[in-house]
Amino acid sequence: MSLCFVASAALPSFTGETPMLLSPQLPLFSLSALMPPMKARRAAISRKTAETKIAVRLNLDGTGRSHINTGIPFFDHMLTLFAKHAVVDLQLQCDGDLDVDAHHTVEDCGIALGAAFAAALGDKRGIRRYGFGFHPKNPFTGEAYVPMDECLARCVVDFSGRPHLVWRGMNEFSQKKISELDRNQDASSAFRFGLAREFFQAFANEARCNLHLELLYGDEPHHIVEALFKAFARAADAARRHDPRIAGQVPSTKGKL
């Protein structure tokens, strides 16, 4: 197995997120003008084993563009919407042993994407670290809730340097009602009915993050997995953003993440 990554330092500078102006009519200053330009947070990973060959390019400061080809159409759909809703640019090509089954492809793409996140985040200076959104009924809680028709999924992430996946609520809903026929019909159905967890576990291990995913309610497997990926995207988007108040600081009292 070979795994290599390049976290770019010599790519064009990135001037940061759209600055908050005190007034749209009378902008007194822009934060980006006061702060040194940030490096583009990019990574390129290539990973090759006897089971999969994967190439990933990630730009954490992208615009949601993606080009994905894993050989599993539903998994491509999930990674495409992940890039869109996390607002990262992602190219991912996987040539895996789908003649065996979808397991190695899904797990190894999680490993490669997690490694790309870890490389692109670098020393994590100035990032918010925790990913969350707002519950519509309680805007003071910090969690990302994403609906998908009849489903509601929650994801909370901490790029803490410590890997841990919490996976709750999926067994209590429709997943247990799936027939063997549905479960085994093709690689895409295997992904929807069980392999999604392998992806998130692999991502958490390699990105070294706490990743808590929970399905609060839902029925339809496509919707369930899509809601989980969208919540994951929104949480990752929040966590990787820079907070201008802590520019240059590692967001930890330990001084290292």
Binding site for Mn ion (CB under 5 A): 226
Minimum CB separation of residue 136 from Mn ion in Å reads 22
Name which of 188 and 210 has its Cβ closer to Mn ion: 188
Instruction: Compute the least distance from the CB of residue 77 to Mn ion, in Å.
Output: 6
Measured CA to CA, the distance from residue 138 to residue 124 in angstroms comes to: 29
- What is the closest distance, in whole angstroms, from the C-beta atom of residue 81 to Mn ion in the complex? 7
Our CB check for Mn ion shows the closer of 85 and 208 to be: 85
CA–CA distance, 14 with 106 (Å, rounded to integer): 32
Q: 172 — phi, psi (to 5°)?
A: -80, -10
* Residue-wise DSSP of 159-206: --S--EEEEESSTTTGGGG--HHHHTS-HHHHIIIIIHHHHHHHHHHH
**Helix, strand, or coil (residue 216):** strand
Nearer to Mn ion, 86 or 209 (CB): 86
Task: List, in sequence order, every beta strand (DSSP E) within 24-132.
Answer: 42-48, 52-59, 66-69, 89-96, 130-131
For Mn ion, which is the closer residue by CB, 206 or 226?
226
Neighbours of 252 (CB within 10 A): 12
CA–centroid distance for 73 within its chain: 18
Q: Which is nearer to Mn ion, 198 or 226 (CB)?
A: 226
Minimum Å gap between C-beta 226 and Mn ion is 5
For residues 21 and 30, is the Cβ–Cβ distance under 8 A? yes
Residue nearest to Mn ion (CB): 226
Distance of closest approach, residue 206 Cβ to Mn ion, in angstroms: 26
